[in-house]
Amino acid sequence: MRVVVAAFILAGTLLAQLPTFDAVTIKVNDSGSGGSGFPGLRNGTLTARNVSLKMMLQEAYGMSPLRVIGPDWLDTGRFDLAGRAPQGVPDSEFLPMLQTLLKERFHLETHREMREMPVYEMVVASGGVKMSTYDPERKFGGINPRGNMIFAPNVTMPELATRMTGSAGRPVIDRTGLDGHYSVVLIYMRLEATAAETSAPDAPPDFFTAVQQQLGLRLEPKKEPVEVLVVDHADRLPTDN
């Protein structure tokens, strides 16, 4: 019994020691706009525009949309966030601070579990990798894609797999065995493209073909257990600012 009590005390102490945002405001966004800006922390300033609670969960816990399980309304209400991190707290502390914010303001309760589901395993294609390793001096310009684009100038393979999930239609699991950071520019045809667009001479390939031709990677369909984040409880609206 004493061990259990001590564990709870230790957990509470560690939670209290986590840095939290200063004077964060969360406002309902009723604009109806389709555009959004995911939560981010830059130079100590927190900003997010027209984001759903599900989008905040994705960012806070590093999960793709298909791996966040909860009620449908998680993706309906939209919010704007603004705030600052305490002085001296680096931007790298963003994720734990965002998790704490969601727990405090939306009374969020979650747990993780494994669920078997269809996935794609991302592996290196037979022709080898075609991506460039990350170079901070490299400049990107003049990119004007005819279609959709994933632009990630400094990304790890697990991060890229998460970015691909929305376009792939199922979770993408990194099985490349590649370490380090890469620069990725992936241009592919939109699913809703017209026949005229897809038949144009300069039309980009479909998503799966583009992954292999442009990145030297391949997505293989599988079915396997995947860790998901399950939302047990969340308020539809945050507590007052």
Same domain flag for 215 and 123: yes
Q: Does position 5 have pLDDT exceeding 60, yes or no?
A: no
Q: Is 239 domain-assigned?
A: no
Asked, for residue 101, whether it belongs to a domain, the answer is: yes
The answer to whether residue 17 sits within a structural domain is yes
Q: Contacts by 10-18 with C-beta closer than 8 Å and gap 24+?
A: 15/100, 18/96, 18/97, 18/100
In a domain, 230, yes or no: no
Domain contains 148: yes
Residues 217 and 179 in one domain: yes
Task: Using a pLDDT cut of 70, give the percent of the chain over it.
Answer: 90
Rounded distance between C-alpha atoms, residue 179 and residue 224, angstroms: 23
CB 206 within 8 A of CB 189: yes
Find the Cα–Cα–Cα–Cα dihedral 182, 185, 190, 191, rounded to 10°: -20
Round to whole Å and give the CA distance between 34 and 57. Answer: 19
Q: What is the mean pLDDT of the chain?
A: 87
Statement: residue 24 has pLDDT above 50? yes
Residue 188, domain member (yes or no): yes
Are 213 and 175 in a shared domain? Answer: yes
Residue 197 pLDDT: 75
Query: Between 75 and 1, where is the model more confident?
Result: 75
Q: Which residue has the higher pLDDT, 126 or 140?
A: 126
Quick check: is 92 in a domain?
A: yes
Q: How many domains does the chain have?
A: 2
The answer to the question of residue 231 being in a domain is no
Task: Tell me the per-residue pLDDT of 170-218, one tens digit each, with 9 for 90 and over.
Answer: 999 999 999 999 999 999 987 777 777 777 888 889 999 999 999 999 9
Residues 13, 45 share a domain: yes
Is residue 221 domain-shared with residue 121, that is, in the same domain?
Answer: yes
Domain of residue 178 covers 115-225
Contacts of 51 (CB under 8 A, 6+ apart): 36, 37, 38, 39, 78, 79, 80, 81
> What is the distance between the alpha carbons of residues 241 and 229, in angstroms, rounded to a whole number?
27
Residues 64 and 147 in one domain: no
Detail the DSSP E strand segments found in the chain. Answer: 22-28, 37-42, 45-51, 68-69, 79-84, 109-124, 132-133, 148-155, 172-174, 182-188, 217-233
CA distance 232 to 101: 17
pLDDT given at position 191: 73
Quote the pLDDT of residue 40: 85
- Whether residue 19 is found in the same domain as residue 87: yes
Residues 97 and 129 both lie in one domain: no
129 and 83 fall within a common domain: no
102 and 119 share a domain? no
Give residue 183's Cα distance to chain centre: 17
Percent of the chain having pLDDT more than 90?
58
pTM, 2 dp: 0.72
The 10s digit of each residue's pLDDT in 51-98 is 999 999 999 998 888 899 999 999 999 999 998 888 888 888 888 999
* Residue 37 and residue 82 share a domain: yes
Q: Which residue has the higher pLDDT, 2 or 174?
A: 174
Q: 100 with 119, same domain?
A: no
Contact indicator for 216, 132 with CB cutoff of 8 Å = no
β partners of residue 182? 133, 155
